[in-house]
């Protein structure tokens, strides 16, 4: 129920009784404006609540992603350190005979690579290579 503010002026419980048409129209326009504003205010509050929830969800997701990324970086650093330690341990534990064999194979591959052009020319020319690879 609407509170009657002008009772002391018109001394009536129903100020609309006997009111001219223009006064009734103005009153209804005022009520329409108030009801529209109330709906807009409610929509704005609902929109603000939805936006707040969306921002919170985004903030939570960003924090979780940051934490996961930091964990990944730490794990990567740990694995890198473990790999370096394993390579160092492997180098220290190499068998001298195996290392000598690998060095010999590497040297032989280098000699073959260096001799490949002269071997290719000899094959094309149909003559033996001047120096066989070691």
Report if residue 57 sits inside a domain. Answer: no
Would you say residue 73 lies in a domain?
no
What pLDDT, in 10s, does the model give residues 40-94?
Answer: 666 677 888 888 999 999 888 888 888 888 888 888 888 888 888 887 777 666 7
Q: Is residue 62 part of a domain?
A: no
**Does residue 28 form part of some domain?**
no
Q: How many other C-beta atoms lie within 10 A of the C-beta of residue 117? A: 9
Per-residue confidence (pLDDT) for residue 56, from 0 to 100: 92
The number of domains in the chain is 1
Give the pLDDT band (50/70/90) at residue 116: confident
Q: Which two tokens stand for residue 28?
A: 């209804």
> Is pLDDT at 103 greater than 70 in this prediction?
yes
d(CA 134, CA 123): 18
Which range, of 24-33, 34-43, 119-128, averages the lowest pLDDT? Answer: 119-128
What pLDDT is stored for residue 14 in this prediction?
A: 79
Residue 66 parent element (H or E): helix 21-92
Q: Which of 1, 26, 25 is nearest to 14 (CA)?
A: 1
Does any domain span residue 14?
Answer: no
Rounded to the nearest integer, the mean pLDDT of the chain is: 78
- Tokens 């329409």 correspond to what residue? 32
How many angstroms separate the CA atoms of 65 and 12, rounded? Answer: 68
Indicate whether 104 belongs to any domain: yes
Domain limits for position 101: 94-129
**Closest of 1, 69, 75, 73 to residue 31, by C-alpha:** 1
76: which 2 tokens? Answer: 């990567």
Residue 110 lies in a domain: yes
123 belongs to a structural domain: yes
CA angle 74, 80, 83 (to 5 degrees): 145
Distance CA 129, CA 77 (A): 52
Please state whether the predicted TM-score (pTM) of the whole model is above 0.85. no
């Amino acid at each position: 129920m609407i509170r009657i503010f002008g009772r002391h002026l018109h001394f009536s419980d129903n100020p609309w009784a006997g009111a001219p048409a223009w006064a009734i129209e103005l009153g209804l326009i005022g009520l329409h404006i108030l009801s529209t504003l109330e709906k807009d205010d409610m929509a704005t509050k609902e929109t603000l609540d939805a936006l707040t929830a969306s921002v919170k969800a985004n903030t939570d997701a960003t924090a979780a992603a940051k934490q996961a990324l930091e964990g990944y970086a730490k794990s990567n650093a740990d694995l890198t350190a473990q790999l370096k330690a394993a390579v160092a341990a492997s180098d220290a534990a190499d068998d001298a005979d195996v290392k000598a064999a690998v060095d010999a194979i590497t040297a032989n591959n280098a000699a073959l690579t260096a001799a490949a052009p002269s071997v290719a020319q000899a094959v094309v020319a149909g003559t033996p290579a001047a120096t066989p690879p070691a």
